[in-house]
Amino acid sequence: MKPRWRKVLHDLIDNKARTLLVVFSIAVGVFSIGVIAGAYQIISQDMSASYSANVPANIEMRMTNFDEDVLDSIHNQSNVKDAEARRVFNVRVRVPGTEKWTTLDMTAFESFEDNKINLLTPLEGASVPNKREVVLEQKALEDLAVQVGDLLEFQLPDGSTKTLPVTGIVQDTASGAGDFLAAPYGYISMDTLQYLGQPDSFNRALVTVTGDGNDITHIREVGAELKDKLEKNGHIVIRSRFSETRTHPLADTVNAILGILMA
């Protein structure tokens, strides 16, 4: 054996702890690369697939209060495939008898049964709340220690409180998908709005487009035409958000982070 190889073997044998540390470090590195590569493949494909399965809105328009007539005009706009309206408002809630308040974005549906955009996936209990009932998105359970059948206390704009029973848990992969900091969601019917001190009107329009729902240029053009028409008729569009049907809004961000970890 050549002297240099004898020296290598001698160093390895005399420094067993250091040798094992190097071997373990290499093994952990190889394992980590494999895990990240696998996560990259799974997340890059499954995240967008799960998102698109719930028929996400291509255009989301935050507006001042509007009614059914405005929704009909949106639906009749060229290149609009489907349109639905919601009322979304921010509210503080807590479990009765506790001190901690949690913020929820409450979404009021006119008809859960006819919902075709931003679909909800039932997980537990009812997926359609009746009057004066609430259904929670599963992420809300991270902040609220409640189960189906428990009560939630809502703080109204005037400072008073009202309670609603939790009748179901759902998953919503579409609403707020592009916002890391979005508050968890709760869902009620429109006939519960007045009980919570809210006007019986819409303030959010959700639209899907005809043609290529993955062509962001086409989506933006339809959104611009729709916004222009609404504003010419005296309605105020506060903000518009555009999304492709088969691409999760955070897909590029997540893939970039995983790509950095793999580098």
DSSP of 61-121: EEEEEE-HHHHHHHHTSTTEEEEEEEEEEEEEEE-TT----EEEEEEEES-STT--SS--E
CA proximity to 243, closest of 186, 173, 183, 181: 173
> How many Cβ atoms are within 10 Å of 166's Cβ, its own excluded?
25
> Quick one: pLDDT at residue 24?
72
- Burial pattern 72-88, b for ≥16 Cβ within 10 A else e, equals ebbeeeeebebbbbbbb
* Terminal CA-CA length for the chain: 39
Q: What are phi and psi of 9, to 5 degrees?
A: -65, -40
pLDDT of residue 67: 96
Beta-bridged to residue 11, according to DSSP, are none
Least Cα distance to 262 among 33, 27, 25, 31 occurs for 33
Residue 8 pLDDT: 59
Closest to 108 measured CA to CA, from 81, 71, 83, 135: 135
Distance CA 118, CA 54 (A): 6
Q: What is the dihedral of CA 156, 157, 160, 165, to 10 degrees?
A: 0
Asked if 59 and 83 count as a contact pair (C-beta separation under 8 A), the reply is no
> Residue 26: its pLDDT value, please?
74
Positions in the chain short of pLDDT 70: 1-20, 22-23, 27-46, 178, 180, 250-263
pTM: 0.82
User: DSSP string covering 137-169, please?
Assistant: EGGGGGT----TT-EEEEE-TTS-EEEEEEEEE
User: Nearest Cα to 222, choosing from 236, 203, 209?
Assistant: 209
pLDDT at residue 48 in the model: 74
**Which residues, at least 6 apart from 45, have a Cβ–Cβ distance to it below 8 Å?**
none
According to the model, what pLDDT value does residue 234 have?
Answer: 96
- Report the DSSP beta bridge partners of residue 136: 169, 186
Largest Cα–Cα separation, the chain: 91
In residues, how long is the chain? Answer: 263
Closest by Cα among 91, 116, 125 to 106: 91
Q: What's the count of helices (H) and strands (E) in the chain, helices before strands?
A: 5, 10
Q: Which residues make beta-bridge pairs with 77?
A: none
